[in-house]
């Protein structure tokens, strides 16, 4: 028995590797605040205010500048590439597809059940 519960990964997802690990650990979705804030179409123009800093009455926390106007990639490049970035900050969906293929999975639900190992 049991009941299926949807899991959303939130926090410290900055690169494609972070997204892949979250999905492999069972997340159904991921909050991509920082990567999306870097996109040229983002309304914050490279600035990002994390949801952890939210407060109903007063702003608190840090306002982060994650990109400058000169180096903001297109949203399509952030999500689907192509990427010339060696740090994994572009082509998030393409990187997920590649990781799934390298691990031998073609179905996302099966990839969410991939065997995990802890490194000491």
Residue 119 lies in a domain: no
**Domain membership of residue 13 as a residue range:** 8-111
Residue 41 lies in a domain: yes
**Number of independent structural domains in the chain:** 1
Residue 26 lies in a domain: yes
Residue 2 lies in a domain: no
Residue 118 lies in a domain: no
Residue 104 lies in a domain: yes
pLDDT tens for residues 89-119? 999 999 999 999 999 999 998 998 888 887 7
Residue 86 lies in a domain: yes
Three-state secondary structure string covering the chain: CCCCCCCEECCCCCCHHHHHHHHHCCCCEECCHHHHHCCCCCCCCCEECCHHHCCCCCCCCCCEECCCHHHCCCHHHHHHCCCCCCCCCCCHHHHHHHHHHHCCCCCHHHHCCCCCCCCC
Residue 3 lies in a domain: no
pLDDT tens for residues 49-74? 776 656 667 666 677 888 887 889 99
């Amino acid at each position: 028995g049991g009941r299926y519960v949807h899991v959303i990964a939130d926090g410290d997802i900055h690169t494609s590797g972070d997204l892949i690990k979250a999905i492999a650990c069972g997340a159904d979705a991921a909050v991509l605040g920082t990567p999306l804030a870097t996109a040229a179409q983002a309304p914050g123009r490279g600035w990002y205010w994390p949801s952890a800093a939210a407060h109903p009455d007063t702003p608190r926390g840090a306002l982060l500048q994650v990109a400058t106007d000169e180096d903001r990639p297109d949203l399509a490049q952030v999500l689907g590439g192509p990427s010339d970035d060696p740090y994994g900050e572009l082509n998030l969906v393409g990187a997920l597809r590649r990781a799934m293929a390298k691990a031998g999975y073609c179905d996302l639900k099966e990839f969410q059940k991939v065997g995990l190992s802890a490194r000491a």
